[in-house]
C-alpha cells in the first residue's frame, strides 16, 4: 500500500497564518513509490496524473522533486545500473582468476537484485521504446558481455567445461539471475538458504569442468 502524504494546509496561531509545508515525501521516497507504480501499470501506461493519485498529492508537488516522468525513469535506472556496474568493477579489481571473478559477479548481482528489487524489476522490463531505455539496455548488455568473457577465459584455462558456448552460457546465467524478480518475496525466503549462494552453486556446478 502506498504511503499517504499529509496534505498541504494552512493553520492559524495567534491570528497569523502558518503554512505546514509541502506534502511529506522526500525525493528518495517519492521515487521509490513511483517505481512501484511503474512496475504495476507499466511505464508507458503510467501518467503523471496516475502517479499523483497513487502518491496522494498534486502533480505540482511531484514537480517540486522532479522535472518529468522521464527524469524519474532515468534516476531509477541509474540506481540499479550503477549498483550492478559497481559489482563488476569491484570483482575485476580483486585481480582474481576468472572463475572467482565470475562467482563474485553472480553472487553480488543477486544481492543487488534482492536489495533493490523494484528498481531492478523496472530495468528488466524495458523494451527499448526510447533513447533513454536503449541506452540503459546497452549498459545492461555490457555486464552480460563481461560474464561471457570470463566464461571464455575460464574455458581456455580448463576451469570450466568447453562444450558450452560462452555467450549462450552468459545469457542463461543472467536469465537465471533475472528470473528472481518474478518470484522473490523477502518475507517468504528461508534465511538459512541464501538465494545468492543457491544461484552460484547451481550455475558453477553446471559449468565447472569435470575432474579427471
pLDDT digits 0-9 by tens, 167-196: 999 999 999 999 999 999 888 877 767 899
13 falls within a domain: no
Per-residue pLDDT averaged across 102-106, rounded? Answer: 97
Domain match, 129 and 33 both = no
Q: What distance in Å separates the CA atoms of residue 169 and residue 167, rounded to the nearest whole number?
A: 5
- For residue 68, the model assigns a pLDDT of 96
Residue that terminates a domain, selected from 5, 32, 63: 63
The Cα–Cα gap between 189 and 204 comes to 22
Query: Left if phi > 0, otherwise alpha if psi is -120 to 50, otherwise beta: which for 69?
Result: alpha
Q: Tell me, yes or no, whether 104 lies in a domain.
A: yes
**93 and 27 share a domain?**
no
User: In a 10 Å sphere around its CB, with 0-12 CB exposed, 13-18 middle and 19+ buried, how is residue 71 labelled?
Assistant: middle
- State the Cα–Cα distance between residues 114 and 181, nearest whole angstrom: 8
Which helix (H) or strand (E) element contains residue 81?
A: helix 69-93
Does 87 share its domain with 182? yes
Among 13, 35, 63, the domain boundary falls at: 63
Residues 30 and 81 in one domain: no
Residues 37 and 134 in one domain: no
Mean pLDDT for the stretch of residues 2-15: 40
**Domain match, 203 and 154 both:** yes
Residue 177 lies in a domain: yes
HEC states along 33-66? HHHHHHHHHCCCCCCHHHHHHHHCCCHHHHHCCC
Q: Is the same domain home to 138 and 202?
A: yes
21 pLDDT above the threshold of 60: no
Say how many C-beta atoms besides its own lie within 10 A of residue 168's C-beta: 11
The reported pLDDT for the residue numbered 85 is: 97
Q: Same structural domain for residues 138 and 163?
A: yes
- For residue 17, tell me if it sits in a domain: no
- Are 157 and 71 in contact by the 8 Å Cβ rule? The answer is no
CATH of the domain at 103: 1.10.357.10
Judge whether 53 lies within some domain: yes
Domain assignment present for residue 10? The answer is no
Does residue 10 carry a pLDDT above 50? no
> Could you tell me if 99 and 195 lie in one domain?
yes
Q: Are residues 199 and 150 in the same domain?
A: yes
CATH code where residue 44 lies:
1.10.10
- The yes-or-no verdict on residue 6 having pLDDT over 80 is no
Same domain assignment for residues 165 and 95: yes
DSSP for 88-139? HHHHHHTT--HHHHHHHHHHHHHHHHHHSHHHHHHHHT----SHHHHHHHHH
Query: What pLDDT, on a 0 to 100 scale, did the predictor assign at position 176?
Result: 95
Both 88 and 57 in one domain: the answer is no
Percentage of the chain lying above the pLDDT 70 cut: 87
Boundaries of domain holding 47: 23-63
Q: Are 75 and 38 in contact (CB under 8 A)?
A: no
| 161 in any annotated domain | yes
Structural domains counted in the chain: 2
Whether the CB-CB separation of 116 and 79 falls below 8 Å is answered with yes
Amino acid at each position: 500500500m502506498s504511503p499517504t502524504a499529509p496534505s498541504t494546509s494552512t493553520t492559524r496561531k495567534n491570528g497569523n497564518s502558518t503554512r505546514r509545508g509541502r506534502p511529506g515525501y522526500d525525493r528518495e521516497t517519492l521515487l521509490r513509490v513511483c517505481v512501484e507504480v511503474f512496475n504495476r501499470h507499466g511505464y508507458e501506461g503510467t501518467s503523471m496524473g496516475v502517479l499523483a493519485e497513487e502518491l496522494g498529492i498534486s502533480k505540482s508537488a511531484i514537480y517540486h522533486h522532479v522535472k518529468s516522468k522521464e527524469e524519474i525513469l532515468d534516476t531509477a535506472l541509474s540506481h540499479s545500473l550503477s549498483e550492478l556496474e559497481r559489482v563488476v568493477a569491484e570483482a575485476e579489481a580483486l585481480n582474481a582468476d576468472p572463475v572467482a571473478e565470475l562467482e563474485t559477479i553472480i553472487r553480488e548481482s543477486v544481492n543487488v537484485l534482492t536489495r533493490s528489487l523494484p528498481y531492478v524489476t523496472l530495468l528488466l522490463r524495458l523494451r527499448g521504446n526510447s533513447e533513454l531505455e536503449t541506452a540503459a539496455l546497452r549498459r545492461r548488455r555490457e555486464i552480460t558481455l563481461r560474464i561471457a568473457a570470463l566464461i571464455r577465459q575460464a574455458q581456455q584455462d580448463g576451469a570450466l567445461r568447453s562444450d558450452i558456448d560462452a555467450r549462450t552460457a552468459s545469457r542463461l546465467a543472467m536469465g537465471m539471475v533475472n528470473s528472481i524478480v518474478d518470484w522473490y518475496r523477502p518475507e517468504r525466503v528461508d534465511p538459512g538458504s541464501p538465494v545468492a549462494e543457491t544461484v552460484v552453486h547451481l550455475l558453477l556446478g553446471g559449468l565447472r569442468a569435470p575432474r579427471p
